[in-house]
Amino acid sequence: MQVSSRRIKGALVVKVEGELDHHTADAVRERLDSLLEDPTIKHIVFDLSQLKFMDSSGIGVFIGRYKVVSQRGGTVSVACVTSQINKVFEVSGLYRIIKKYGSIEEALAGIGGCDE
Amino acid sequence: MNVINEMRLEFPSKSQNESFARVTVAAFAAQLDPTLEEIADIKTAVSEAVTNAIIHGYENTVGIVTVIAKLYEGKIEIEVIDEGKGIEDIEKARQPLYTSKPELERSGMGFTVMETFMDEVEVISAPGQGTRVKLVKYLTSTGGELGRE
């Protein structure tokens, strides 16, 4: 499991690689929360192109981070979602609070992160 | 309906075995020549059931989780069994968004995911008597290598 991030203006682009389940969720959550200690981060864009598996343990990880940034007036979006993970997102209703984009560029344009 | 092949897996309720269990069941199911989507569905449902056994059944103490998988022509049947604390109210536990552990940032979607990804989900449990979750999936393939024997 690997989490890497880069900052593009007000947005944090986070690439999550590997498998997100109960076993790996704590480590991912801790890493994200330490990144979010920076109060200037408003938006998170997750690059899920290399996330190979996710079950319902991952849902809480996304909802929890959504709560953090929404309090700052920010958003969470996901890009490059593979079909298995898309199905978990759909079933859980995550798309009601998290927007899905085809690419990182589209996601950044969608939140206006490039222009801020 | 005749069982074409079956396997039994036993492992301690450690979270690193969640991945082991779902990958092993998926590899076994591959004998039925399922589609990639069917394999992903099976992996996800097994992961949910095994995670429940570890978190809720044994509450992070160490017990044995047993996974039994049986292959039939066009169908896989999987049982995930723990001898943990059991479920008091099964109907409540199966409701979407219900979680007995909200403090752990659990979503309460485990059973909903199992029900969506599989064709049948049966839960047999009683307080103090452990839990047995039976998952059934019908496959669109014709039975794979074994089915053609």
CATH number at residue B84: 3.30.565.10
Domain contains B102: yes
The predicted-structure confidence for B74-133, as pLDDT tens digits, reads as follows 999 999 999 999 999 998 888 888 888 777 777 889 999 999 999 999 999 999 999 999
The predicted-structure confidence for A9-49, as pLDDT tens digits, reads as follows 889 999 999 999 999 999 999 999 999 999 999 999 999 99
Instruction: Catalogue the E-assigned strands of B1-149.
Output: 5-12, 64-72, 75-82, 120-125, 131-138
- Say what percent of chain A tops pLDDT 90: 91
Kindly report the nearest CA distance between residue A83 and chain B, in angstroms. Answer: 8
Kindly report the nearest CA distance between residue B78 and chain A, in angstroms. Answer: 17
The predicted-structure confidence for B25-66, as pLDDT tens digits, reads as follows 999 999 999 999 999 999 999 999 999 999 999 997 899 999
Domain contains B144: no
Whose tokens are 């996330």? That residue is A51
Parse chain A into domains and list their residue ranges: 2-111
- The interface pTM score, or ipTM, of the predicted complex is 0.90
Q: For residue A96, give the DSSP letter.
A: G
Nearest chain A alpha carbon to B55:
A22
Categorize the per-residue pLDDT at B145 as very low, low, confident or very high, splitting at 50, 70 and 90. low
CA–CA gap between residue B112 and residue B122 (Å, rounded) = 12
Q: How many domains does chain B have?
A: 1
User: Looking at residue A113, what is its pLDDT?
Assistant: 45
A chain contacts of residue B107, beta-carbon cutoff 8 Å: 56-57, 59-60, 63, 92
CA–CA gap between residue A86 and residue A63 (Å, rounded) = 15
pTM of the model: 0.92
CA–CA gap between residue B7 and residue B13 (Å, rounded) = 19
Residue B129: which domain range?
5-139
Categorize the per-residue pLDDT at B142 as very low, low, confident or very high, splitting at 50, 70 and 90. low
Domain contains B149: no
Domain contains B92: yes
Domain contains B146: no
Cβ–Cβ of B107/A29 closer than 8 Å?
Answer: no
CA–CA gap between residue A28 and residue B15 (Å, rounded) = 15
User: Looking at residue B97, what is its pLDDT?
Assistant: 82
Q: What token pair was written down for B146?
A: 């074994």
Q: What are phi and psi of B61, to 5 degrees?
A: -90, 170
Q: Is B44 in the A-facing interface, judged by CB distances under 8 Å?
A: yes
Cβ atoms A85, A48 nearer than 8 A: yes
The predicted-structure confidence for B2-15, as pLDDT tens digits, reads as follows 999 999 999 999 99
Please tell me the CATH code under which domain A2-111 is placed: 3.30.750.24
Domain contains B36: yes
Q: Which of B44, B54, B105 lies nearest to residue A88, judging by beta carbons?
A: B44
Categorize the per-residue pLDDT at A87 as very low, low, confident or very high, splitting at 50, 70 and 90. very high
In order, the DSSP letters of A40-74 are T--EEEEE-TTEEEE-THHHHHHHHHHHHHHTTT-
Kindly report the nearest CA distance between residue B73 and chain A, in angstroms. Answer: 25
Report, as an integer, the average pLDDT of B135-147.
Answer: 73
Domain contains B101: yes
User: Looking at residue A102, what is its pLDDT?
Assistant: 96
Cβ–Cβ of A23/B15 closer than 8 Å?
Answer: yes
User: Looking at residue A112, what is its pLDDT?
Assistant: 59
Domain contains B68: yes
The number of beta carbons lying within 10 Å of the beta carbon of residue A66 is 17
A chain contacts of residue B47, beta-carbon cutoff 8 Å: 21, 53, 55
User: Looking at residue A18, what is its pLDDT?
Assistant: 97
User: Looking at residue A116, what is its pLDDT?
Assistant: 41
